[in-house]
Amino acid sequence: MRLQFLGGTGTVTGSKYLLEVGGLRVLVDCGLFQGWKMLRLRNRAPLPVEPASIDAVVLTHAHLDHSGYLPLLVRDGFRGPVYCTAGTAELCGVLLPDSGRLQEEEANYANRRSFSRHDPALPLYTEADAYACLQRLVPGDFERDLPLGPGIGLRLRPAGHILGAAMAEISFGGRRIVFSGDLGRPHDPVMKPPVSPGRADWLLVESTYGNRRHAPEDAQAQLGRIIRRTVAQSGVVLIPTFAVGRAQSLLYLIHRLRAEGEIPQVPVYLNSPMALDATEIFVRHQGEHRLDRAQCEAMCRSAIAVQSAEESKALNRQRGPMIILAASGMATGGRVLHHLKAFAPDPRNTIVFSGYQAGGTRGAAILGGARQVRIHGEDVPVHAGVECLSSLSAHADADEILEWLRGFVAPPRQTFVVHGEPDAADVLRRRIADELGWPVCVPDYLQSVELNA
């Protein structure tokens, strides 16, 4: 077996791991690079391996940093099956076409306003490319053995990160390699905890929060405090949110805050058609999360759906306190950009981040204290308050990752720390070496390792 790291090294984005096993080439995850420009440029360079030479893809979950390169892989010649859970397939059906549409819109917008340095700006891929790649998805159940090829087995196990999220176990000749995917948290209010891992000869573990502990304050209390304060000063609470996962958790928390009389009755807008679709998928998959049907319905009713671009623009002219949830979660694109232009300059408003902000994104800049950000070629001042609901994270923190690792029946022969920025990956590597005594390393981009039977 041979393993090559085609992404997810030194960054939380671009996850792609190429496994050559039993004569097959299997790509585990097919993510987009996001954030720093030098990373994003990799999306536009040819993949270091010929797409047509890959036999199968396995997706751990639907987030774009794990699935968003699939339209390009298929456009450039990949013709094999893409294995994933049913939840992941349904969410990809929403996320990938939206990603293609957004790239087309941004290229058009850049060309109209001619602020792009590329002339003309071209979308990375189109909505049509995204629909084409969906044909290759092969949805399956959690905890079922699936043959990838002769003597090569795949099992997808619940990872608790978002709906459909799995860790992938690939077995061959009595050996097993485990890809953690993104790991959820043991006590999330909405998602169930990741399953205990069992056995692995080799392990890839994510390290998004490998150097951090999430705040002990519960997210509901923190969000309640932020909303009360902002509403008291007649401000707008603007929440850039990932349409899948965080949007549903936030809606549920807002519903609970209202039901418990913790926040005043102000309008709440969910300004993301994609988040609305994702919420429907979430409601259909009862049993994968902790909410029952009544709680799901209450969650759905807690916000006013904003569908059209016209309604979205009208919000920017509306006066008085309100809460707006809009994608994207790291303010890299989507409708939230127009809201940031409208609301970031006013000190009465609060911008609330609800998930990891990858280096190089506007979200990371604002959270890091930037007093202005560039949006659509304009400098926008940031005078609004800025908050982060870190305890609402969909990722395990460092202690929770260590706790999950302690669930292995024996140390893997080698553990690879991936999906983290350099500091986070290195701190987790040291903790795994010091506290567990396991052989562990942080692989480099394009590094290739032989996994000897």
Binding site for Zn ion (CB under 5 A): 63, 182
Q: DSSP string of 376-409?
A: TTEEEE--SEEEE-GGG-SS--HHHHHHHHTTBS
Given a contact cutoff of 8 angstroms between Cβ atoms, the answer to whether 400 and 183 are in contact is: yes
- Residue of 30, 68, 240, 64 whose CA lies nearest to 162: 64
Kindly state the tokens that stand for 325: 């949830």
Q: How far is the CB of 61 from Zn ion (least distance, A)?
A: 6
Diameter of the chain by CA atoms? 66
Q: How far is the CB of 242 from Zn ion (least distance, A)?
A: 8
Q: How far is the CB of 452 from Zn ion (least distance, A)?
A: 31
Q: Is 314 exposed, middle or buried (0-12, 13-18, 19+ CB in 10 A)?
A: exposed
Q: How far is CA 215 from CA 197, 219, 246, 365, in A?
A: 26, 9, 17, 21
Q: How far is the CB of 181 from Zn ion (least distance, A)?
A: 8
Instruction: Give 98 or 182: the residue with its C-beta nearer to Zn ion.
Output: 182
What's the one-letter identity of residue 368?
Answer: G
Q: Nearest residue to Zn ion, using CB?
A: 63
Instruction: Give 92 or 315: the residue with its C-beta nearer to Zn ion.
Output: 92
Is the previous residue joined to 46 through a cis bond, with omega within 30 degrees of 0? Answer: no
Residue that the structure tokens 């159940």 belong to: 141
Instruction: Give 382 or 394: the residue with its C-beta nearer to Zn ion.
Output: 394
Instruction: Give 42 or 63: the residue with its C-beta nearer to Zn ion.
Output: 63
Instruction: Give 168 or 324: the residue with its C-beta nearer to Zn ion.
Output: 168
Q: How far is the CB of 420 from Zn ion (least distance, A)?
A: 13
Given a contact cutoff of 8 angstroms between Cβ atoms, the answer to whether 442 and 449 are in contact is: no
Coil, helix or strand at residue 416: strand
Instruction: Give 63 or 362: the residue with its C-beta nearer to Zn ion.
Output: 63
Q: How far is the CB of 185 from Zn ion (least distance, A)?
A: 13
Instruction: Give 99 or 350: the residue with its C-beta nearer to Zn ion.
Output: 99
Q: How far is the CB of 110 from Zn ion (least distance, A)?
A: 27
Give the count of beta carbons closer than 10 Å to the beta carbon of residue 56. 21
Task: Report d(CA 171, CA 7) in Å as an integer.
Answer: 22
Given a contact cutoff of 8 angstroms between Cβ atoms, the answer to whether 194 and 407 are in contact is: no
Instruction: Give 12 or 107: the residue with its C-beta nearer to Zn ion.
Output: 12
Instruction: Give 68 or 197: the residue with its C-beta nearer to Zn ion.
Output: 68
Given a contact cutoff of 8 angstroms between Cβ atoms, the answer to whether 167 and 60 are in contact is: yes
Q: How far is the CB of 446 from Zn ion (least distance, A)?
A: 22
Q: How far is the CB of 87 from Zn ion (least distance, A)?
A: 13
